[in-house]
Amino acid sequence: MSAPASAPPRSFDADTATLERVLTNLRLSLVDDDVYEDLEEVLRPYADLDATRTAKLTVRLRLAVADVLPAVRHTHGHLPVVARAVELRDREQQEHPDDARGHLRLLALAALDMLDLLAPNAAPPPTF
């Protein structure tokens, strides 16, 4: 019995565009798909979240920011939007329901900015 013939090695293009596409997909794979649903729930018009849901979403978005933070810092350095996301991630849970919902909305916007920075050809957001 003869040994099966091995397939020739596959070649691929290692140009800059291909590598950027691979890196972008790897960065985006850091993000759980549920994060986008959480962002939609928080940022939709007239979102009315109770205290329990607000606390749960705050924890989830804090984790999402922590997950993408190394990749964003690696590709874009220490931008003001990154510092703001870290500040909001680390802020204590707000006791008053209105303050907690406001904090969650700000955290969601910061998380969205961070995710936007992971997109292909992302430009840093403007600073004001």
Assigned domain for 19 exists: no
Are the CB atoms for 33 and 71 separated by under 8 Å? no
Residue 127 lies in a domain: no
Distance of CA 106 to the CA centre of its chain: 14
Residue 123 in domain = no
Q: Has residue 18 been placed in a domain?
A: no
Is 59 domain-assigned? yes
At position 87, the amino acid (one-letter code) is: E
User: Is residue 11 included in any domain, yes or no?
Assistant: no
pTM: 0.73
pLDDT at 94: 76
Residue 20 domain flag: no
What confidence category does residue 119 fall into, taking pLDDT thresholds of 50, 70 and 90? confident
Query: What's residue 77's pLDDT?
Result: 81
23 lies in a domain?
no
Q: What is the pLDDT of residues 55-96, one digit of tens each?
A: 999 999 999 999 888 888 888 888 888 889 889 988 887 788
Q: Across residues 37-51, what is the average pLDDT?
A: 92
pLDDT tens figures, 13-22:
677 767 666 7
Q: Considering only residues 121 and 97, tell me which one the structure prediction assigns the higher pLDDT.
A: 97
Domain encompassing residue 88: 32-118
Taking alpha carbons only, the member of 70, 96, 98, 101 closest to residue 85 is: 70
Number of domains in the chain: 1
